[in-house]
Amino acid sequence: MRSILLHAHDDQAFEARLQVALDLARAFDGHVTCIQAVSLDFAMPGDFEGMLSTEMAHVMRERAEAFRARTEVRLELEDVRWEWDDRIGLGDSVLQEYAALSDVAVVGSGNPENEAAPSWLAGGLAIHARVPVLAVPQGCPGLQCGAPALVCWNGTVESSRALRAAVPLLVKSERVTLATVGDGETDGETVDLPPVQGAEYLARHGIDCEIVRFPWTSRKEVAGQLREAARARNAGLVVMGAYGHARMLETLLGGVTRDMLT
């Protein structure tokens, strides 16, 4: 994980994202690429001649430049390699472009404009860029790469991809738990790969793990069960596949991915 993509945006969760990106860079002798996407595509009601929109665009540019200047001063004091690039455009499309040659993308777990809502950036990158996404909650003090890790397993392609992508971090973890909910029958779904196969894959990489099973109650309870399992084990990292169901369906009806990001 040497090529680390960081979403640089002036919001309350940026400090947490920055700390995690720096911790990753130190652990893997990596390089942090800070990407700042500045969207100037907006319209204001009643602004028929575009004068207010033009003024607002100027203000947005000034704020972005000030944020970059503040952050670069700080980065100069850090012991990691880094670079900064700012682009005009929407955050999801700009980050997807850079993600093509990144080992991991560090974004917030919440929406930058509404921290209580799940991150569209995390979902978009996981689905369209196929890059491992590290979703960082606001207030996170950083990433302890040796801390216990919880792997959420449901035997799907998505969970398998997440497991493989997390191997560099799991190798460093002091304890790995592979957690599954239900038995693949009572939850109404078919498990393609049982937990033991996930454990065998990890063993080939020198990673021992404990398999734990939680009883199936209902889909809306799964995220809560997994979060409680992570807390009980003092997990510093939770690994899971994203959006096994259609993303729009999960947005409308709720889903484990959405629940874990909120």
Claim to verify: residue 127 and residue 191 sit in the same structural domain: no
Whether 165 is in a domain gets the answer: yes
User: Pick from 84, 105, 136: which residue ends a domain?
Assistant: 136
Claim to verify: residue 157 and residue 195 sit in the same structural domain: yes
Quote the pLDDT of residue 40: 64
User: Pick from 103, 136, 169: which residue ends a domain?
Assistant: 136
Claim to verify: residue 230 and residue 123 sit in the same structural domain: no
Asked if residue 114 has pLDDT above 50, the reply is yes
Quote the pLDDT of residue 31: 98
Claim to verify: residue 10 and residue 108 sit in the same structural domain: yes
C-alpha 122/C-alpha 136 separation (Å) is 10
Quote the pLDDT of residue 32: 99
**For residue 194, what are its two tokens?**
């049982």
Residues of the domain holding 170: 149-261
Whether 142 is in a domain gets the answer: no
Claim to verify: residue 7 and residue 132 sit in the same structural domain: yes
Asked if residue 262 has pLDDT above 80, the reply is no
Mean pLDDT for the chain? 85
Nearest one of 128, 99, 116 to 243, comparing CA atoms: 128
Claim to verify: residue 172 and residue 117 sit in the same structural domain: no
Asked if residue 177 has pLDDT above 90, the reply is yes
Angle at 81 between CA 96 and CA 69, to 5 degrees: 75
Claim to verify: residue 166 and residue 189 sit in the same structural domain: yes
Where are the extended beta strands (E) located within the chain? 3-7, 31-38, 81-88, 104-108, 110-111, 114-118, 133-136, 149-152, 176-181, 209-214, 237-239
Backbone angles phi, psi at 168, to 5 degrees: -55, -35
* 222: confidence class by pLDDT, cuts 50, 70, 90: confident
Claim to verify: residue 76 and residue 197 sit in the same structural domain: no
Dump pLDDT digits (tens) for 5-57: 999 999 999 999 999 999 999 999 999 999 999 876 554 455 445 555 677 77
What are the residues facing 83 on neighbouring strands? Answer: 33
Asked if residue 159 has pLDDT above 80, the reply is yes
Quote the pLDDT of residue 146: 95
What CATH number is given to the structural domain containing 177? 3.40.50.620
Whether 15 is in a domain gets the answer: yes
Alpha-helical segments (H) within 150-246: 157-172, 195-204, 219-232
Claim to verify: residue 132 and residue 105 sit in the same structural domain: yes
Asked if residue 189 has pLDDT above 90, the reply is no
What is the domain count for the chain?
Answer: 2
Dump pLDDT digits (tens) for 240-259: 987 654 444 344 334 666 67
